[in-house]
Amino acid sequence: MHKIEEIKPQINKRIIKLLLTDKYWTRDQDMLRLIGNSIWIINTDSLNLIMNEILNEYSNIEEYFLNVQKRVASIYINYLHALYKYQNENIASKYLKWLTKLSAVPELTLFKMLTLYYEALFAKNNQKAKEIIKPLKMIVPKIIRYLPVK
């Protein structure tokens, strides 16, 4: 069995090569799913470029169908988790701002609450983060297990 450190460079190269061969990859739901599931494998420099490409493609996210909003929001929530883990607060603000533009519909409530949670974490407002996470623990306990809790 391989360790993630051994696999990471190989997979990173494959993913980047795959993206470079398709100039419309940001519109492909399968490619977006791949990116969302590969946040921890793609190297930081490549990941920043990828996230900016997605940000440019979906700058007016509220105009897209809910399935697209969910897909891209889940990518950015995962990315915020990585940014928080690596203490990269200066990059996080534009993605937090983007997430606030999601449509105001019940289907996106979890993403909106997670956005508030990460805003509180990045602002070092641990009290607010605890208040936000309290109802989430009852609603989605499996997801909350993986969040950075302060």
| Domain boundaries of the chain, sorted by first residue | 44-144
Across the range 124-140, mean pLDDT stands at 94
Hey, what amino acid is at 123?
Answer: A
**C-beta of residue 96 within 8 angstroms of C-beta of residue 115:** yes
The pTM of the full predicted model, rounded to 2 decimals, is 0.88
Q: Would the CA dihedral through 115, 120, 126, 128 be positive or negative?
A: negative
> Over the stretch 50-81, which tens digit does the pLDDT of each residue have?
999 999 999 999 999 999 999 999 999 999 99
Mean pLDDT of the residues in the chain? 89
DSSP letters of 115-131?
HHHHHHHHTT-HHHHHH
